[in-house]
Every structure is written in C-alpha cells, then in structure tokens.
Chain A
Amino acid sequence: MRFGFFLCAILSCAPALAQDTKKEIQKYQQMIADGSPVELFELEGEALWKKAQGPNNVSLEKCDLGQGAGVLKGAYARLPRYFKDADRVMDLETRLLHCMTTLQGRSREEATKRVFGNENQPSEMEYLSAWVASQSRGVKLAAGTSHPKEKEAFALGRALFFHRAGAWDMSCASCHGEDNKRIRMQDLPVLYKPQAARPIMATWPAYRVSNSQFKTMQWRINDCYRQMRYPEPKFASDATIALNTFLTVTAAGEPYRGPGTKR
C-alpha cells in the first residue's frame, strides 16, 4: 500500500481528468487528426516500399506480411502473427526486417543501423510502417492466437506487462494497470483491459505532434522501458514482440483507424 503511494509520487499520479476537460481534449485530438502530416509519411513509405534496394536490387513489393506475397490490405491489422518461414511470431517491423534481409539481401546490421529516426530525418522503418499500416484502415484488429507460438507470445507478453524489474522496480502495469490515473494532463489507459487497449492499438503507429515524429510500436515499447529505467530492449526482440502481441490481442476486434496522430 505504502509502495503504491511512493510510486504515485514518482509518477505524479493524480485522479483522472474531469469530464468536460476530457471532452475538450477529445476535440483537440479530433482536430489534429483531421489535418495531420501523417499522410506525408504514408506517401514516403509507399515510395520506399516500391524502391529497389540491397544487393538483390529488388523492392519490398513481394514481401509477405502474412496475407500473401505483396498483399498489403489488412496485413497490419493481423499482426503480430506466426510465420512458418521464420518459425517465429513477428510484428510489422520484425517482418519488414525479415523481408529486407531475405528479399533484398541486406544485412541485418545495415537494415537496423537506424531504426528510430528524428524530426529532421525519419527512419525507413517509420515511413514503411506508416504506409503498411494505412492499408489496414477499417480492418478489425486480429493478431494471431491459434498457433502454439502465438499463444506463447501472448502469455509472455502478459507476464512481462505485470513483471516489475529495472532500476525503479516498475512494470507496464505501474502506469497502465490501475483505473483513474493520469500523467500530467493525459489519462493513462489500463492496457490489459480490452476497452482501453482498443482505441490505443487502433491508432499506432502514430505521428506525435509534440516532437513532430512518426513513431512505431517498437519505438513505443522501447521508450516505455527507457522511462522505467530498464536496459534498452533489442529491436525486434522476442520480448518486444510478445508485448505487442499481448496488447494487440487484448484489443482484438477493434477496427483499425491509423496511422494515428497523437500529442
């Protein structure tokens, strides 16, 4: 109990926002989404998808994101999922990396040299994520749940969500595990509950107006760990994919409406 208060002190936890404040913030979110630079990232992403690269000098257009080679419609909404050719559950960025190395012949080192960009120079992964995600607009989120490895990933993701560790002995649930909490002016969604997870997972990846950057789920998980003072997770690691699986499965059924625009 005492520890809870201590945590709250660190997080500057406060009761959730009042209803009319919430409504005004919703109006803000609506107005920035309707007229967002997100489409520019989708445009660039489309160009990169079609660009011949790597030693094999081919584009990503034959990449199989789970719905068949080159099939983009609905692919993002059905990730993460198990892929037989890699014998692994993969999320979007992991699968893009797979296609970069297998189709284009690029080295993992080269393809992951700069996975997270900045406002002046977004990364290839960010542009591609925007483009691929945009092709799932309107499709219900349906990450894989039937294959044993998919079930394993979900279980691991859930365990990680609640597991406290790191320099501050925090878990995802420290911020996202209790009702009626906020950090500064932002309500904290309780992400293990479908009702809260759905609108969140339906709008990532997203353009962050606060830093003018397009951010992906791999980045989001990476940054959460940074904020909790954990060691940095590896890009496309089993842990990050597992968390992404847990969150997406929890949000199952929600029509995807991203890429989003967020504060």
Chain B
Amino acid sequence: MTRRSLLAVLGLLLAKPLSVLAAWNEQAFGAKTTADALKGIGASAPSPSKDIVIDAPQIAENGAVVPIEISSSIPGTSAIAVVIEKNPFPLAGRFEFKEGALPFVKLNVKMGETSDVRVVAFAGGKQFSATREIKVTIGGCGG
C-alpha cells in the first residue's frame, strides 16, 4: 500500500467518529433524486399547502448565491426542509424549530440550473409542501 493510500484510509477512519458527534442525515443528503431526498426526510407524499410562503426572486443573476426566505403559518410547524429538485443532491437543508423559535428561515443556496425549489413543512406528524420555480441565469462577462 502506498503512503498516500494509507493516509487516505487513516483519514477515512478518523473522519468517521467525528460525524457521529452531531446527527446529519447522510442518506437524505446523499439522495440524488427529489423522491429519494423526500423519502430520506420522511416526507414521501407531502400535501400541497398555501400556508408555506417562499419568498425568492424569480430570476437569480447567478446560481452560486440564490436567496430564499421561507415561512410557514401551518400551526405546530416543527421543521422545514428545502429541496432543490434539479441539484445533483436535492436536499439543501432541514431546520428544526424547537420551543422558542418561529418557523422561518432565510438562506442562500447554490442552484446548478433553473429548478423548482420545494419547501416541506413538518407539523403535527404530517408533511406539507409548496414549490416555486427559480430561473438561474448568468450575467456579465464572467469577470
């Protein structure tokens, strides 16, 4: 075994224990399709809801930073997940709101191309979702 591959194996072995310090849904985040991502977070068939508001520009000048502001007025919303359907790994994040937090988040995401952005809200043991298309363009000379 070369030194480099030995180091790589050691690196993998060392990396493992650290990842159990905080829960991170590897299966859901590693999903390559929206269906698998939704399954991974336990929301395979969310009901459409108008009480999830996705405030985002219809057009993003650049896919590296796409601002999205999300809020849910569904009573008892305990978590919100963001799924970018056309991204190589659609699940972008899952936010759990405990007692004391409002079901609201604004974040910047990367979008590889124009895509539907699906927001899933978890409330009272049920799942709801809303979708919004965001067009990704390129501006300028690349400078």
Contact = CB atoms under 8 A, between A and B. Distances in A.
A263 interface: yes
B58 interface: yes
Q: DSSP class of A's interface residues: helix, strand, loop or mixed?
A: helix
Interface of A: 21, 24-25, 27-29, 31-32, 35, 175, 183-186, 209-212, 220, 223-224, 226-227, 263
Given A32-B108, A35-B106, A35-B108, A185 B57 contact: no
B-side interface size class: 10 to 19
B143 interface: yes
B82 to A, nearest CB: 15
B61 A27 contact: no
Contact of B62 (A21, A183, A209): A209
Interface of B: 56-62, 64-65, 67, 69, 106, 108, 137-141, 143
Contact of A227 (B59, B60, B137, B141): B141
Given A31-B67, A210-B64, 14 more contacts: A24-B57, A25-B59, A28-B67, A32-B67, A35-B108, A175-B141, A183-B141, A184-B137, A184-B140, A185-B59, A211-B64, A212-B64, A224-B143, A227-B143
Contact of A186 (B61, B67, B69, B106): B61
Given A35-B106, A227-B141, A227-B143, A21 B59 contact: yes
A189 B116 CA distance: 31
